[in-house]
Amino acid sequence: YNAGIKATAAMESTTKGSSSTASATHLAIVATATLSSVYVIQNLLRKYDTRKKLRLMAEEAVQRRDEKVHKVLEIIASKTLQDDDDSHDDACCYSALETREGIIRGNISAVDNIIHSVRRCVLYGRKDGQGVNAITEEFYDEGYGEAEKIMLSLLKKQGANEEVLLSEKLLLLGVPISVKDCVAVKGALQTGGLQCRTGEEHRSAEDSLIVRVLRQAGAIPICRGNVSQVMMMPESCNNIWGTTLNPWDLDRTPGGSSGGEGALVATKCVPLAVGTDIGGSIRIPATYCGVVGFKPTPSRLSIEGSMRPRKDNRFGMAITIPAICGPIARSVDDCALFMRAACVPDLFQADPYVPPIPFDDKVYAKKEKGLKIGYFVSDGWFDPCQAQKRAMEETISALEDAGHVCVPFDPPADGWDTYGLFVALNAAEGNMRGFTEALEGEALIPHYNTLYAASNLPNFLRPLVSLMLDERRASLVKAASYGGISVY
């Protein structure tokens, strides 16, 4: 009997203990779930608040641009009322070479030429009406003022020999230019397509070195061209200035990331533009917009004063694959003129990383026949479309007809390897960390969705996922594994 009582008491004690433990576990689960929910909700609210603030900053930047008063537009309006509107006249859209020579010879007014360019910027460069939405900021009055100074300077030199003036250093005298959004222009923003860079504190205190040198050569910046968000897409689309359109077909892209410059040159708003290039950011827009783009060898020109689309302007991939400034124009001669104006002692002295080698006019001016020109059609990775193949064949045929010898060759490295390395360098940080941190809370544009999803794929899953893909995509998934050299 006593044993039974003891056993019953023990069972009751165990039941109470189990019940107490179960209650504690239940409470712990509820508490954990509640705290997790609170944490998630707080993060969502914080993200929403951050994105709202960034969006408002961007909207204010656009509003400031649109509300900026340009007195020169009043002059344009009066000329239009007087039926003196030549903005639709392509005959008045001079090349950079024609502009300089015409101004020196007195055949072109620097002031009238700026007015013409500004008028075309308003008609075709902006978003309104038939515009391509290529312009992020405008310096029309500043450009008009510079043109007036040029006219006064030429008046003082009246009677001087034209050939002497043409031989002077002012190789871009009176030439209106556009400068890519990421290249510093005094008083302008450098956004790189990032909303967090639209605050007034991000306005440049001075020109970048390349812009200073071009100004010294007589160039007149009148606007800035749009770019892609974080400047890593062959598009020109961001959450600040919107999407730039192709001048030849408004349903298509002008390319990127220097797409704003390509579109402005193609619409003849400016004869010359300053772009930057790593993996095609000058050459792609030039191709898409039907103009000429030239990427100099890295370090041939200075990149000092150009922003990097990384938090705190970190170098990121630029350590291993640096960007370089270069021209976009409507002719090869104008690109050569840009290089002549940029490769000067002032640039070499200001940037010790640039080799002090002037542009070689003698080599460029040679018209000799019988040059041996190497070419390749594909690197094995980027196979050209039929239109590109036809263009290559027509180019080779034209060169051979001109007396040159065209020799096919295989690139020294296979495209599968080189592009794989490019992807691996970009992915080394993991999860597109450099780009997403640069955004400081802003949402990536949809163009990056596939890349972002691939970057977030855990390394241990990559071999399995690769088995389900074709060889090309599988190689990229493998190359994008992270854990390599970090910039942090």
Selection from 485, 472, 480 nearest residue 455 by Cα: 480
Cβ atoms < 10 Å from Cβ of 214:
27
Look-up: residue for tokens 């990536």?
444
Examine the residue annotation and report whether 257 is marked as an active-site residue of this protein. yes
Look-up: residue for tokens 């302008």?
188
CA contacts within 13 A on the Cβ side of 242 = 13
- Catalytic one of 87, 95, 178, 180: 180
Compute the distance between CA of residue 16 and CA of residue 23 in angstroms, rounded to an integer. Answer: 10
Partners of 329 in beta bridges: 272, 292
Instruction: Read off the tokens for 225.
Output: 């061209």
Cβ atoms < 10 Å from Cβ of 376:
12
- Catalytic one of 117, 228, 257, 306: 257
Compute the distance between CA of residue 263 and CA of residue 245 in angstroms, rounded to an integer. Answer: 8
Examine the residue annotation and report whether 180 is marked as an active-site residue of this protein. yes
Helices (H), 92-173: 96-105, 110-120, 140-156, 162-167
For residue 140, CA distances in Å to 107, 118, 401 come to 22, 7, 45
Strand, coil or helix: 257: coil
User: Contact, 281 vs 256, CB < 8 A?
Assistant: yes
User: Contact, 106 vs 173, CB < 8 A?
Assistant: no
Compute the distance between CA of residue 16 and CA of residue 236 in angstroms, rounded to an integer. Answer: 69
- Check the CA dihedral 391-359-163-97 and report its sign: positive
Residues in the chain: 488
Angle at 273 between CA 271 and CA 278, to 5 degrees: 145
- Catalytic one of 281, 302, 455, 481: 281
Catalytic residues: 180, 257, 281
